[in-house]
Amino acid sequence: MDWKTWYDSLIKPDWTPPPGTIGFIWQILYPIILISFGFVFFRTLQGKLPRMVALPFAINLASNLIFTPIQFGLRNMPLAALDILIIWGTIIWMIIAIWKHYRIVAVAQFPYFVWVSIATVLQLSITIMNWDKQ
């Protein structure tokens, strides 16, 4: 079955946002991510930021990019749950790492953090609710 049929067949909490809402939120967040991450990576390459400041951004980016293939390609919900926990944790790390250098970049991560916090609870809920389908 295709990914949408598979996802629709999963048991989900009543408060699960509709797919259109999820897509809309990411359309808002991706430009923020692109600009702020690009700034951090550029400043790091210029030698104006320590590499350790860019590390959580790099881990977060890689984890974010592999979430969809894990969740909808492999259909591996426990691994997707682990991945989203990494995404969530690295956002906290990113905010702490960049705070003393560029507070505006740290503050720009708050909408991302709020959304990923919601998405993390949702992912963990769906994973637990469908544990028998693993």
Give the whole-angstrom CA distance, residue 11 versus residue 106: 35
Residue numbers of the chain with a pLDDT score lower than 70: 134
Residue 19: the pLDDT is: 87
Q: How far is CA 47 from the centre of its chain?
A: 27
pLDDT digits (tens, 9 = 90+) for 74-85: 999 999 999 999
CB 67 within 8 A of CB 83: yes
Residue 134: the pLDDT is: 67
Q: Count Cα atoms within 13 angstroms, Cβ side, for 3.
A: 11
